[in-house]
């Protein structure tokens, strides 16, 4: 686990884009953070790093949006879901258990017991110092991603 402080939305965006360029097929990224913390900003720039030209928006009402680029991005927003059976209704497990692209899950903490064994956790928190400053806390869960922690940390340096 490691954390980094970004001083502006541009720095947070840059980390998202770098990760989009770095990650390969099969990565699941679980985003935790309050409303307005920067989860969608991070995802928009991850998409830029995946060479996705479409406008990436939070799928709050759609629950999932799919974007095509160098890799397919499956972008979930679980904010409005209340029950585990709703995950099955939207085919959630089909995407996260064996992803053929990159899966990003906003509000993943609502269904922590339903997440796959292997995922990248990114918690985005506001700091008390500045409205634009964010603390990004990265943690890798599962054996599949154990070897990329150092590389991810290196990507986050400015």
Total of domains in the chain:
1
DSSP secondary structure of 39-104: HHHHHHHHHHHTT--SPP---TTTSEEEE-SSS-EEEEE-TT--SHHHHHHTTHHHHHSS-SSEEE
Phi/psi at 13 (5° precision)? -60, -40
Model-wide pTM > 0.85: yes
pLDDT in tens, 117-149: 999 999 999 998 788 999 999 998 887 777 777
Residue 50: which domain range? 2-156
CATH number of residue 27's parent domain:
3.40.50.300
């Amino acid at each position: 686990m490691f954390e980094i402080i970004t001083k502006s939305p541009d720095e947070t965006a840059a980390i998202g884009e770098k990760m989009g360029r770095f990650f390969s097929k099969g990565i699941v990224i679980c985003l935790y953070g309050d409303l307005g913390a920067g989860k969608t900003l991070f995802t928009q720039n991850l998409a830029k790093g995946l060479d996705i030209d479409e406008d990436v928006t939070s799928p709050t009402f759609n629950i999932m949006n799919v974007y095509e680029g160098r890799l397919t991005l499956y972008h979930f927003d679980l904010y409005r879901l209340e029950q585990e059976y709703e995950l099955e209704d939207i085919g959630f497990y089909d995407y996260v258990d064996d992803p053929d692209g990159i899966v990003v899950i906003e509000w993943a903490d609502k269904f922590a017991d339903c997440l796959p064994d292997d995922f990248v956790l990114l918690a985005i928190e506001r700091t008390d110092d500045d409205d634009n400053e964010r603390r990004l806390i990265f943690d890798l869960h599962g054996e599949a991603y154990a070897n990329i922690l150092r590389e991810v940390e290196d990507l986050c340096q400015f």
